[in-house]
Amino acid sequence: MQNDSIRVFFIGDIIGRYGRYFLSKALLPLKRKYKPNLIIANGENSAGGLGIIKKTADEIFNAGVDIITTGNHVWDKKEALPLLKENKFILRPVNFPDVVPGNGFLEFSLKDGEKVTIINLQGRVFMEPVVDNPFNAIDRLLKRVDTKIVFVDFHAEATAEKQAMGFYLDGRVSAVIGTHTHVQTTDYRVLSNGTAYQTDVGMTGSLDSIIGMKRQPIIQRFLTGINQRFEVAKANQILDIAIIDINTKIGKAEKIVSKRLYESNFQTEFKDYI
């Protein structure tokens, strides 16, 4: 990484207590090895696999995360309503209705004084229709942003919508990284005009699960159509992360890599940093 660059960590959706535990165990060695300037994580599923509360947000911040982004599950716990009103470092999608609490973007100052704008945005395809058109919403917002470095968490279901957003914003923002599906994609790259892109960063949760939850109740629901009680899965925790280097002079991405860390061999892999 060059002197005129910053490094951003973006950590995939943190699922429940076991995801929070692995995050708290893994993040400090990761920081020692890769030396990020900014750490962002999606935390909308940190409380029991659905929603976010003060306790889970505090654990994520205490682990070393600077900014928490969310998505369509942010209101699944009622405690999120006052939490987002009080804590500006927890974002909800900017294209939510204006009447809901919280903020959809934040201008964040790094230790060296460099400023970064972090934007949380939600898609509409196969998602709740109450959100505004994300393409129109981001156009309006970017007219108000005056930092060179702009990071976008695009929380969306459809890969086509995510890809469209990546190309739509190519050269206008530093990075567009997708969340929501919890399935890490391998299409990470720097687009032709300098925007780092990945359809989905993945998750911090159990690999032996269905998007972080125990498998059998979900399979049973598909078989019967009857709602089941979903529980966070514990076995074989992973942490999916995108690491993005961004040129501070022009706000363009220089490099993006995507990694998956396994709890089972983490101590061996990072023994020199623990």
The token duo for 63 is 């682990």
Tell me the residue type at 3: N
Decide: 107 and 147 in contact? Cβ < 8 Å: yes
Number of separate helices (H) and strands (E) present in the chain: 7, 13
- In the block, which residue shows the tokens 């049973």? 220
Q: What are phi and psi of 64, to 5 degrees?
A: 125, 5
Whole-angstrom Cα distance, residue 156 to residue 199? 9
Catalytic residue among 73, 155, 180, 182: 73
Decide: 121 and 152 in contact? Cβ < 8 Å: yes
The C-alpha torsion from 141 through 143 and 148 to 149, rounded to 10°, is 10
For this structure, is 180 an active site residue? no
Tell me the residue type at 232: V
Q: DSSP character for 210?
A: B
Q: Which residues are marked as active site?
A: 73
